[in-house]
Every structure is written in C-alpha cells, then in structure tokens.
Amino acid sequence: MEKKHYTRDDMAGLLRAHDINPTHQRIEIAYALFSRQAHLSADQIMAIVNDRHSETSKATVYNTLNLFRQHKLVREVIVDPSKVFYDPNTGPHHHFYNMQSGELIDINENDVQILGTPTLPDGMVAEGAEVIIRIRPQNP
C-alpha cells in the first residue's frame, strides 16, 4: 500500500468519483481518514476535524460517515462493542484487534484467506467476509 500524500483537492475529486457532493465538511472528514490511512472512530474523527477551529457538528460527522459507507468510500469495522471504526481501505484485507489497546492493525490480504465458500441461506447474498484475529500482550 503506497503512501500517497493526499491534498484536500484530491479529496474533492475522490468524493465526486463516488457521487458525493464535496462540501467543506465532507472534505475535512475524508481528509482526516485518508491522509492518515488509519482506523478511526467517529469520536476521533470529530476531534481531529475540530482541532483548530470548529468545523463540523456531531450530527454531520455521523451523517457523513454513513454517507461515505453507503457510497463505499469507507468500510465499517465492528470489533469493539462500544464503537465503530471507519477504514478508508475498502480493498480486501483483514484485521488484528489489540484487545488491550483497542488498536486495529491491517493484515495483508495474502497472509490470511478464507477457505471454503459455505452455502448461503436461501435468497441471501454475501455482502462481505472478514477475518478478525483478537490479540493481546503475552504476559498480562
């Protein structure tokens, strides 16, 4: 995964490419996620975006992240019972979850694969398959 240096203009283009009207708030939120290439919670994103001046409200952060997800610009990662993480990498890959620190770490696509395609219940389609490996420090 090459480290691209994103600008806010890049974000505008990216949003347009996903049929999203690039408003100021949306650009800032996208920039927070993509410039870091990190797994962030809504909380963290809001803190980052409003760090210097107040740029967005809580409602907009949630609205926007849901919009991004619908347009497949980001992916939700659900590993922590108390908060959702947003992942700017929508390509196929899996995650380690550090249960102690709450940190999410990518697993390279080639390092882990799902073997076997189980028959889905009737009339159902698979929306995505993911592997989560929960890890923790050896000597607690």
Smallest gap from Cβ 98 to DNA, in A, equals 17
CB neighbour class for 85 (10 Å; exposed up to 12, middle 13-18, buried from 19) = buried
What mask, x for binding its own copies by CB under 8 A, covers residues 101 to 140? ----x-xx-xxxxxxxxxxxx-xxxxxxxxxxxxxxxx--
User: From its own copies, DNA, none, which one binds at residue 66 (CB under 5 to 8 Å depending on kind)?
Assistant: DNA
- 91 lies in the binding site for its own copies (CB under 8 A): no
Nearest to 32 by CA among 16, 55, 63: 55
- Taking the least distance from each CB to its own copies, the nearer of 54 and 59 is 59
Task: From residue 138, give the alpha-carbon distance in Å to each of 68, 97, 135.
Answer: 37, 14, 9
- Taking the least distance from each CB to its own copies, the nearer of 51 and 111 is 111
Reported residue count of the chain is 140
